[in-house]
Amino acid sequence: MKQLYIDFDGVILDTITYPYEYVEKKLGLEINPENMSKFYSELDWKDFLKKVPVINDSIDCIQKIIESNLFEVSILTHVTTLEEAIEKIKYIRKYFDDITIIPVPRKISKTKMVHTEGSILIDDYAGNLKEWTEAGGIGVRFSPKLSSKGYPVIDRLDQILELEFV
């Protein structure tokens, strides 16, 4: 069974659109790691996760992937604060009792937290996929606009079941 890691932000929930728009338009700040880190560290994650939309039936898609028995599924997510990690874990636990959730401090590459060789990462951020493939993993880009940036691309998580390496 192949190991499959699924990113949270921008893949499961749309936690990217609102914060970026708010920081840029409401606060008038440049979108950069420092400003975003500050915003995320001050965010009420419990309330925020109640309001943001699920992307393309991702929860149902994860269930389909699990039921396929083709993958050992884990959630691999960058976090800025302990509160963010706790609230993301609580969110996933509402739907899945027995799935591994790995919060990764933002300053650490996801490749440093798990065994990447031969493992698949579904992520919306090409930078994470670049690091992943350089470490021997298989990167799959999640993009609602199907923008591949050089990686196999899907816009629904259950499309992973249709890719050739499965």
Q: What does pTM read for this prediction?
A: 0.93
Rounded CA-CA distance 139/153 in Å is 9
What CATH number matches the domain at 2-14+54-162, 3.40.50.970, 3.40.50.1000, 3.60.20.10, 1.20.1300.10? 3.40.50.1000
CB 73 within 8 A of CB 62: yes
pLDDT in tens, 109-146: 999 999 999 999 999 999 999 999 999 999 999 998 88
pLDDT 10s digits, 98-118:
999 999 999 999 999 999 999
Alpha-carbon distance 36 to 22, whole Å? 10
Distances (CA, A) of 57 to 54, 61, 62, 84, 95: 6, 6, 9, 22, 13
